[in-house]
Structure 1
Amino acid sequence: MPKIIDHDQRRKEIVDVTWQLIVEGGIEAATMREIATRAGFANGALKHYFSGKDAIVEGAYERSLTSLGARVEAHVEGKRGIEALEMFMRFTLPVEQEDATAARVLLSFWERCAFSPEVRGGYDAHLDSWKAGCLRYLAEGREDGDIVTSTPDSQLADEVIMMNIGATVIRVVSPERIHVPGLEAQVTDFIARLRRRD
């Protein structure tokens, strides 16, 4: 009988290998040849599972997001409004070693976005989803009477996203500049601002 191939498992293996290569040496290390070699495939065999390198890199990016999302969800579950927003902010900041590893993959993915409209489209969708989540928490916080600032919710959500992206870049490029108490204080100050009338 012909050997039955689990294509989903093979795709997962390819993504895992790519993720590790990016962690070790950045996007340049994750060549199609190296991915195939590390995954135990013949050259050219990857095309049976992915349309190209962009699709594989996007898979590695999704792997990081899935891991982060599961952790955040565990802390946000059962919460709403300003409390959910605070947990969301605290547990998306890159402060743990696991976060640093994921941050390297994210930074490589962002670089790829600059040169691939296909990859950038997927990232735009992620940003839209991320912002929608922040806006939901902000709306709930206003409904609960906890958020009273006159700063528009769209601007506040953008601040949350920019704070996280900035911290992620620094975590990769200059990790010695990441001061965890300082990051936590920024979140505390941001949440306090939401409770103050301008």
Structure 2
Amino acid sequence: MPKIIDHDQRRREIIAVAKKLIIQGGFEAATMRSIVAEAGFANGALKRYFPSKDSIVAATFQSVLAEMGQRIAEGDPTSDPVQALRHHLESTLPLDTYRIESGRVLLALWEHSVANEELAALYRRHLRDWRALLAERIAAARGRDEPADAPEVIQLAGEAINMSIGANITSLMFPDGSLIPEFRAYVDRLMRRIAD
């Protein structure tokens, strides 16, 4: 009887290998050859799932963004809007080893997306969606009946995104997590500003 192969699981395994290689050695380490070797597939098997390195990169990028989205969604948005916003902000910061490593992958992929318009468009769409969701959460947390597109709300959402990106970049130099208390303090200061 022929072995039944779960192709979706194989794709997830390939993405996990690509992510691991990027964490260990940066974007350049995730070559088609190294992915095949690490995953234990035959040379031609990888092309069945991903025809090119760019397709693996795009899938890895989407996987890391989806993981971030899942962390954000785990906070109950119907609960206290202030706590929902805090959860949202903390979900995007490198506050544990897993998120530090995920940030490392995203930064490597962002750099690659500069020369790849398809990836750049994907990330720009992610940034727009992220800003819109944050603006909604900020407006709700402020409790002033402001629309999510009010200038001050949009400005605060932009600051929150820049704080997150900056923290992820900085954590590359301190992968031991020694800056986690500082990142938590960023959230505390931003939450106070939002409440003012």
TM-score (normalizing by structure 2): 0.85
Equivalent residue, structure 2, for 1:170: 170
Which structure 2 residues correspond to residues 119-138 of structure 1 after superposition, within 5 A? 119-138=119-138
Indicate the percent of aligned positions where both proteins have the same amino acid: 40
Equivalent residue, structure 2, for 1:153: 153
Which structure 2 residues correspond to residues 73-88 of structure 1 after superposition, within 5 A? 73-79=73-79, 81-88=81-88
Q: 1:105 to 1:62 in 2, by over 3 A?
A: same
CA contact (8 A) 1:80 1:140 kept: no
| Counterparts of 1:177 and 1:40, CA distance in 2 | 32
SS for the counterpart of 2:115 is: coil
Equivalent residue, structure 1, for 2:37: 37
- RMSD, aligned α-carbons: 2.4
CA drift of 1:93 comes to 1.2
CA contact (8 A) 1:131 1:157 kept: yes
| Counterparts of 2:80 and 2:56, CA distance in 1 | 35
CA contact (8 A) 2:64 2:102 kept: yes
Which has the higher mean CA deviation after the structures are superposed, 79-88 or 108-117?
79-88
Q: Which amino acid aligns with 1:155?
A: Q
CA contact (8 A) 2:171 2:179 kept: no
Q: Which amino acid aligns with 1:83?
A: Q
Alignment size in residue pairs:
193
CA drift of 1:122 comes to 1.3
CA contact (8 A) 1:82 1:146 kept: no
Equivalent residue, structure 2, for 1:27: 27
CA contact (8 A) 2:96 2:177 kept: no
Q: Which amino acid aligns with 1:180?
A: I
| Counterparts of 1:61 and 1:172, CA distance in 2 | 18
| Counterparts of 2:132 and 2:98, CA distance in 1 | 26
| Counterparts of 2:35 and 2:114, CA distance in 1 | 22
SS for the counterpart of 2:172 is: helix
CA drift of 1:120 comes to 1.1
CA drift of 1:76 comes to 4.0
CA drift of 1:41 comes to 2.3
Equivalent residue, structure 1, for 2:116: 116
Q: 1:83 to 1:105 in 2, by over 3 A?
A: same
Q: Which amino acid aligns with 1:90?
A: E
Equivalent residue, structure 1, for 2:99: 99
Once the two structures are superposed, residues 110-147 of structure 1 have per-residue CA deviations (whole angstroms, 9 ceiling, x without a partner) of: 111111111111111211111111011123234x3398
CA contact (8 A) 2:15 2:56 kept: yes
